Structure 1
């Protein structure tokens, strides 16, 4: 059966691949918003994203090694795939109504939500300082959402739902990191999503027209390329080094919003984003410190 490749120490390449992965993730959201604006149903856009991803994964992994389709932990793999699908459906639904900078910024709270979920699900211990950072991070989410102001839109709750689903997805990814190979995870996450959506999209299929064919075809390639690049990046560099790289996406999302949709991030989005990023970076730094203490050898008694 397909096995995971050994770790390598190529930090610079890993960081560059992670930046590339984040760029592909921005392309996914931008393509989805373009297709929804063009009149395609949201579920069909999600279907195109995962079907394209699955076809790329089959070409790269499945045809070369059919054993990649077999999972060591099918139940967890199924749950992981469904949470990823739920996150995508909710995120694409939110993109119908919200600027890409808003949905991206809310999703930045992922590491904060994962920190909380890791306590009951992974048995991790989280100190008081990280709990305070989590609270500050969610305060930043409130600043972005502005539930007290005229700019608030109910679709922001869809982004929060996407955030929760994505957090469970990453928790399950951690559980499977030493169980499943990258090939198996790519095939299952994309294949299950496409299979689940197939009966729904066939009932209301709408063919793309004109320029919308381009993002319709490319969105799945963006998805596969982004996830593969991120996985390889984590094999070449430590997760503690790669974690802050995802925040580069706020600049990419701002550029995509300006160039494609003629929207710029508001002061509230930028301010809340800075709070979320600062909280996420603090949590990341504390995790590095705690793990460093755990790994540090105990001096011999003399």
Structure 2
């Protein structure tokens, strides 16, 4: 549980660094640096251990699609934080479990019951409370945050598909390498160098936060059941709100927290229902008596 809290703190470091840097640098350049740093760390740490096995994948097409979705999520997010408070982007991003649940139907062939569909609909109602379309406070960048959640949902589904197929180090290698290669030409065409010492520090460290956050997250899920630690992900709203207030003077209004509460409640209920159904399936399997 502590490892997961540390992981989401690292993810807050990514978003905070990105929000600062995109004020003076192109978002695609910031995304490139984030993945380049991640890639360099993965190669330095894992190549001596795995050797050529590091890039040997049993499902390269899935690795490519997974990396593309992670990159899409990053590009949407880095552009959104340029215009929206971190608490707002985080609140919209909390629809991730709802997207995973909905997308698992066509992509994984899973069945979603009426209760979870109601939770999904209520969760998106919470998003409407946060963004308040039609009101003066509405900003079009909210659609970018929704794009972040959709791409992240597709990334999580591909991660499920790759479980037990490729090693975690191999998945990290492809996610960082492919993202770096795919956006390098576009980032280099718009390249601008950081101007201040703080810009340089964030420019260099953003890839480290990305690598460390994913490593801590992977270890946390290895040491504890997902059903125990998954709901703690919503605690990220706390460091995101604090970072927005301390570094960017962002002061989200009460409706952001009301909407976030609705989204979080819906996500926790979806998690709860999946846990209950998993227990029922397990119980039914254990009650099966093999025929002689």
Distance in 2 between residues matched to 1:299 and 1:228, nearest whole Å: 39
- Alignment map for 1:16-27 (pairs within 5 Å): 16-27=2-13
Contact 1:62 1:69 in 2 (8 A): no
Residue 249 of structure 1: which of 227, 236, 251 is its match? Answer: 236
Shift of 1:285: 0.6
- Alignment map for 1:138-153 (pairs within 5 Å): 138-153=124-139
Shift of 1:268: 1.3
Q: Which residue in the other structure is 2:175 paired with? A: 189
Matched, 1:237 2:224: yes
1:30-58 CA distances to partner (integer Å, 9 max, x unpaired)? 00001112x11111000010000011111
Q: Which residue in the other structure is 2:41 paired with? A: 56
Distance in 2 between residues matched to 1:137 and 1:128, nearest whole Å: 14
Matched, 1:220 2:234: no
**CA-based RMSD:** 1.1
Residue 298 of structure 1: which of 262, 282, 287 is its match? Answer: 287
Distance in 1 between residues matched to 2:251 and 2:124, nearest whole Å: 23
Q: Which residue in the other structure is 1:102 paired with? A: 88
Distance in 2 between residues matched to 1:213 and 1:50, nearest whole Å: 16
Distance in 1 between residues matched to 2:68 and 2:166, nearest whole Å: 17
1:211-243 CA distances to partner (integer Å, 9 max, x unpaired)? 200110110000000011101111111111121
Matched, 1:133 2:133: no
1:26-84 CA distances to partner (integer Å, 9 max, x unpaired)? 000000001112x1111100001000001111111123212111111000000000000
Residue 287 of structure 1: which of 254, 274, 286 is its match? Answer: 274
Residue 31 of structure 2: which of 34, 43, 46 is its match? Answer: 46
- TM-score when scaled to structure 1? 0.93
- Runs (4+) off by over 2 Å: none
Q: Which residue in the other structure is 1:3 paired with? A: none
Q: Which residue in the other structure is 1:273 paired with? A: 260
Give the unaligned 5+ runs of structure 2. Answer: none
Contact 1:110 1:163 in 2 (8 A): yes
Distance in 2 between residues matched to 1:158 and 1:281, nearest whole Å: 24
Distance in 2 between residues matched to 1:73 and 1:89, nearest whole Å: 25
Distance in 2 between residues matched to 1:217 and 1:103, nearest whole Å: 23
Distance in 2 between residues matched to 1:219 and 1:167, nearest whole Å: 22
Distance in 1 between residues matched to 2:3 and 2:42, nearest whole Å: 18
Q: Which residue in the other structure is 2:245 paired with? A: 258
Shift of 1:125: 1.3
